[in-house]
Chains A and B, each alone.
Chain A
Amino acid sequence: MSEKILVIGELQQGVLRKVSYETIAAAKQLNANAEILALVLGDGDLQQPAEEMIHYGADRVVTVSHANLSNYTSEGYGQVIMEVMQDEKPSGMIMGHTSVGKDVTPKIASRLELGLISDAVAIEKEDDQVLFTRPIYSGKAFEKKVMKGEGLLFATIRPNNISALEPDASRTGDITAKEVDVKDLRTIVKEVIRKKTEGVDLSEAKIVIAGGRGVKSAEGFNALYELADLLGGAVGASRGACDADYCDYSLQIGQTGKVVTPDLYIAVGISGAIQHMAGMSNSKVIVAINSDEEANIFKMADYGIVGDLFEVLPLFIEELKLQGALVS
């Protein structure tokens, strides 16, 4: 266990994001024999998320709690992560490609003059080299990248692509609270306006029902919510639907919005613009419901229904109810 890989447990309103567990699985793919060290940072009692990281496969956890970490700032998080890196000298580091991960990792890479591979969807080993696969050109192509030289294996991973390990509640490991004086922040977060809706987190959902301009109104989205409830999924949207005020921008999927990789993506009244595809093209199974048989979304779809969504959705809901306990 000479080598060490550092992963970051990312908290969102006190709860670990699922991608945190995936970073542990990714770390094991870098080096199956390395010690996996997790850093959990925030403000308050971090014992529970620390234990969860261990259940999901981390060997040891360092927690850092500080009032200046209650809201994310690149400076606050940057100071803590770099201090832990200095203490622990890991040979690899993995974080989720989330709003926070995208923001803080290039700062660290730049300060320490490191390479960084962002938004990896797969990791493999070939002759002792670690290859990271990442989408480019809005998902129209992929590239495999490697670190040159001996530097830190440093990457962010796209949520929902590398499966987390099965949790084991009997696993134990050392949890140490570390003091870091988080200071000299030039950035102040004054207010956070949360727009997230209740229920399953869109970027982590296994099933996503997304509506577009074709849904035609906010009321039209009710059928999507009902479907999502039945399937245990989350509702998303295209830019078109958000711009038309049928739903909040926090539901937007695509290049500008959330990037999702669910097992099942149902696109309802969405044409399939490239900027939308950039956010969902990696989904495992894609269903399109659209009245225009020429719509681009059908090129991506595994299953398509050419038809009026206002006719299809009620039947879909009825059929699911009929099938009874299908809820996953």
Chain B
Amino acid sequence: MLAMNFRGAFKVRADYDMPYPEIEHPGDAIVRVLRSCICGSDLHLYHGLVPDTRVGMTFGHEFVGEIVDIGSDVKNVKTGDKVIVPFNISCGKCVFCKQELYGNCHEANPQATAVGGIFGYSHTAGGYNGGQAEYVRVPYADVGPTVIPEWMDLDDAVLLTDIVPTGYQAAEMGGIQKGDTVVVFGAGPIGIMAAKCAWLFGAGRVIVIDELEYRLEFVKKYAQCEVYNFKSLEDPVVFIKKTTDSLGADVCIDAVGAEAAGDAMNTLLGRKLLLQGGSTTALHWAINSVKKGGIVSIVGIYGPTACLVPMGNVVNKGITIRANQAAVKRLLPRLIEHVKNGVIDPKQLITHRIPLEEVAEGYHIFSTKLDNCIKPVLIPPTANS
């Protein structure tokens, strides 16, 4: 079958000779992929920053599709169902899943206890092939996959696998109280959704910081928020202090993660030499811009090794840090309602529709932010049959 095939940092190809997935466990399903996105998280793999990313693997954790085969234990979905597949693989039985920590399942990733199982996200996240393919194996098919409502557009559905729940949880973890000032670092799909969702929790002011003018333009309209380009600010932290009565924001959200720009030292240590689990510039800014007793919510992804953060300020300011992989399954019912009622319109973020055959160009476009790219979606040829 046709699938994305990783060949090393910055190199992927559309490979027509990848093996079809098989049922390997009675709880598995095989899904024919209808839409599959490239995520900012995939860029960390693509740039060679995630340890144990093996050549020959297929990426892709944001996909929707039709179930074409199920294992003998699967009861909740059947062949022919079109499903949203959360990016986290979760068993539904371990104590973490039972407490709705679906991003922290203990029965989906033998390689690392600190990371759950994620489709197509290196062996550090379980060694699963992902959905940037015509077909994909979906374990625990009774738990994650959720049938797409009749009325829902596939383009909305595919964004419910990750970026909408992640942006929503970023705001949720901010513990936003009515009237709070919320600063979101990053105007990628995650930051855009976090800004949009901050209002749903009652924010009084929402500010987004990035360096890409076209993304700031987009989020300003899409999420009706204030935007600032950090390239034109001498010191983003000082600027935020000044614009928040000198006290700082109530809540800061890191929606950038390991590949943050804006500080040469962090870039060198975290992105070039890989001596820390990524560049922590946005996290620095978040910690330093939040007010005393404030909350920093982190959804940006960092590597497994240690990272330099201004811990002294965390302690001295009494900051609460909250972070996680989004628990997609927990949030889906609420978010499906929000899409239905027009509170959130996810598909507006899709700027590029790319045939799976051109996956290498898709990665290049998203990685180098060519052609004002915000969110690319890959469409396998079999999606049209």
Q: Check if A and B associate.
A: no
Could you tell me which A residues sit within 8 Å of B by CB distance?
none
